[in-house]
């Protein structure tokens, strides 16, 4: 991921202002340590910090059209850039960068070209012919982007909040799937797929259609001129990404340059579920596996850095970001600049354990829609910023536009969790890759119960965080929490601890408004909490809060005990944890 910063229409075009823009742009250099660039046209400044993945030699930014009247600063990857170049036969490109097509597409099609881009991106485009500009962000918000307004009438754009929060009177997250045009002064939604209105689809489930769509999504993301690997926790999602990558790597340009053997990476506390499962999958796939261990104290020591980089006080995001942050530093030290990751699957297929309690297919489908729309505030934010903190790029094939359209067009009845029929969470995805002739994964991995990343790295990680917070936040502080933090009042000592750190880095009201709030259990939306009355007394984003579902549900709460004997249905293991629920 690169870092972009733009100041547009400011009242100051002095050298001092240019120096200030450069100073703020340097705050984003962790995102793009390979090169820095700045362009000034009158009272407009476009700055860029580059992480070179495609065409490292000549793809420095900002980028231009032929006569340099159109200027672009971009953070992202355009996977269909070669196809788009063929449609721009009358244009001359200055670089081999995948993002070089943007200025030329604008020249050819105007602002309506954004939906032609297949990839992840945030960009600012300046048309110096009339001093107009446009800003756009990718469909789901995989790349991070903020917009702000200065008292002098200027408009600011930054990949991260830290690039603009001190200089703007108000700022907010730039909405995914939207563009902003200076010609209208308004946002316009360019991404509006059929599932967006949340009406219940009816397409029958076809396993091969899901398999083909996801394989395509992974293969297009193997585009790279630098060494890359996969994040491999041993769970279903990351294991499928790794399996498909291993199958298709040999035929790519990257394999010819860097070798055909895939590198995989896993992080966890000593003896954690993810380390064990990740190693097993790596051995099955034949990857060069790198296992990183951290201690609870290592994670606690990194919390301030994590909050500064990820720019949130959301509890579940910080819990999961910390191990990813630590792992990203290790990965980058090995010379790897890009990784594929498994974010998005749980939102699309209802993979979180609380989906077991979905009352009907309409509620199930609408919750998946809500979860996908909110990804830019949670898992996308984590995957983007925790890796970018060390100049590492994360690509997420589950959030491919075409794959989402395929998966979200399914009749949600096929996604419903029905243990009595052997259908556990994400059954439609598991079944799509259950190939007897050429297995993608071992059966017990293909049907492993969902573990949230913050749980899978080791259960004592979250328990350790709670204990540390309890040592630093006392009861008197909690009794005044609603007065100190009237917006998104922290309800636990852990949340209060994170909030104190966040407010120190980002004290503005606009900053605290960028972070989501509301009731949640096991990563649910507030609406889904209504599915089970008992959840209102057990508000925690950990998967272990899914009482009666998770094998290691919190002690002292409802615990699911399997009804013996635990049998398989056909060759498919019954959902672990199925059975009666008793109060302990």
- Residues identified as active-site: 2
Give the span between the Cα atoms of 327 and 293, in whole angstroms: 9
- Tell me if 340 sits within 8 A of 221, measured CB to CB: yes
C-alpha 566 chain-centroid distance: 36
List, in order, residues 6 or more apart from 208 with CB less than 8 Å away.
432
Structure tokens at 477: 């502080």
List, in order, residues 6 or more apart from 397 with CB less than 8 Å away.
214, 217, 218, 221, 241, 340, 403
The SS3 assignment for 366 reads helix
List, in order, residues 6 or more apart from 452 with CB less than 8 Å away.
316, 320, 352, 522, 523, 541, 542, 543
CA distances from 83 to 74, 86, 97, 116, 307 (A): 19, 5, 13, 10, 39
Q: Is there a binding annotation on residue 267?
A: yes
C-alpha 162 chain-centroid distance: 19
Name the H helices within 162-272.
207-220, 236-248, 253-258
Structure tokens at 509: 């009201």
Q: Is there a binding annotation on residue 341?
A: yes
Q: Output DSSP code: residue 217.
A: H
C-alpha 381 chain-centroid distance: 5
Q: Is there a binding annotation on residue 71?
A: no
Task: Supply φ then ψ for residue 81, to 5 degrees.
Answer: -65, -35
List, in order, residues 6 or more apart from 455 with CB less than 8 Å away.
273, 461, 462, 542, 543, 544, 552
Q: Is there a binding annotation on residue 231?
A: yes
Q: Is there a binding annotation on residue 42?
A: no
The SS3 assignment for 172 reads strand
Structure tokens at 398: 């589950």
Give the span between the Cα atoms of 130 and 37, in whole angstroms: 23
Give the span between the Cα atoms of 434 and 445, in whole angstroms: 11
The SS3 assignment for 444 reads helix
The SS3 assignment for 83 reads helix
> Binding site for ATP: which residues?
231, 267, 341-342
> Binding site for L-glutamine: which residues?
98
């Amino acid at each position: 991921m690169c870092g972009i910063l733009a100041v547009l229409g400011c009242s100051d075009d002095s050298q001092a202002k240019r120096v200030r823009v450069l100073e703020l742009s340097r705050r984003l250099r962790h995102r793009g340590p390979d090169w820095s660039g700045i362009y000034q046209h009158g009272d407009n400044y476009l700055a860029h910090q580059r992480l070179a993945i495609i065409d490292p030699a000549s793809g420095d930014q900002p980028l231009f059209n032929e006569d340099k009247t159109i200027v672009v600063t971009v953070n992202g990857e355009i996977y269909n850039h070669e196809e788009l170049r063929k449609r721009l036969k009358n244009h001359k490109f200055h670089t081999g960068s995948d993002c070089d097509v943007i200025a030329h597409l604008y020249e050819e099609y105007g602002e309506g070209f954004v939906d032609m881009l297949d990839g992840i991106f945030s960009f600012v485009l300046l048309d110096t012919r009339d001093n107009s500009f446009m800003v756009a962000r990718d469909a789901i918000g995989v790349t991070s982007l903020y917009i702000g307004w200065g008292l002098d009438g200027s408009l600011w754009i930054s990949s991260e909040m830290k690039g603009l929060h001190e200089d703007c009177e108000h700022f907010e997250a730039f909405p995914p799937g939207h563009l902003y045009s200076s010609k209208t002064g308004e946002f316009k939604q360019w991404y509006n797929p059929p599932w967006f209105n949340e009406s219940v689809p009816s397409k029958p489930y076809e396993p091969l259609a899901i398999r083909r769509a996801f394989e395509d999504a992974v293969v297009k993301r193997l585009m790279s001129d630098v060494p890359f690997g996969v994040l491999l926790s041993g769970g279903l999602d990351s294991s499928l990404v790794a399996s498909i990558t291993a199958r298709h790597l040999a035929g790519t340009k990257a394999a010819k340059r860097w070798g055909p053997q895939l590198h995989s990476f896993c992080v966890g506390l000593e003896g954690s579920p993810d380390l064990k499962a990740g190693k097993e999958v790596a051995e099955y796939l034949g990857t060069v596996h790198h296992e990183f261990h951290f201690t609870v104290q290592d994670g606690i020591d990194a919390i301030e850095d994590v909050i500064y980089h990820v720019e949130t006080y959301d509890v579940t995001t910080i819990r999961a970001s910390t191990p990813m942050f630590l792992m990203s530093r290790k990965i980058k030290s090995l010379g790897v600049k890009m990784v594929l990751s498994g974010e998005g699957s749980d939102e699309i297929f209802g993979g979180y354990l609380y989906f077991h309690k979905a009352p009907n297919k309409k509620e199930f489908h609408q919750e998946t829609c809500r979860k996908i729309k909110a990804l830019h505030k949670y898992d996308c934010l984590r995957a983007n910023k925790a890796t970018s903190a060390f100049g590492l790029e994360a690509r997420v094939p589950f959030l491919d536009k075409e794959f989402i359209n395929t998966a979200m067009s399914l009749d949600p009845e096929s996604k419903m969790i029905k243990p009595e029929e052997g259908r556990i969470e994400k059954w439609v995805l598991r079944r799509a890759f259950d190939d007897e002739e050429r297995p993608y994964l071992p059966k017990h991995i293909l049907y492993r119960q969902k573990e949230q990343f913050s749980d899978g790295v080791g259960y004592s990680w979250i328990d350790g965080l709670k204990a540390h917070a309890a040592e630093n936040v006392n009861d008197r502080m909690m009794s005044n929490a609603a007065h100190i933090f009237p917006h998104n009042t922290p309800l636990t000592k852990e949340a209060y601890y994170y909030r104190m750190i966040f407010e120190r880095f980002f004290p503005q009201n606009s900053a605290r408004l960028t972070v989501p709030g509301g009731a949640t259990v096991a990563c649910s939306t507030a609406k889904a909490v209504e599915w089970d009355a008992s959840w209102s007394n057990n508000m925690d984003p950990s998967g272990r809060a899914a009482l009666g579902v998770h094998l290691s549900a919190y002690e002292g709460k409802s615990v699911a005990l399997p009804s013996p004997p635990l049998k398989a249905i056909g060759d498919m293991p019954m959902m672990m944890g199925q059975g009666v629920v008793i109060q302990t």
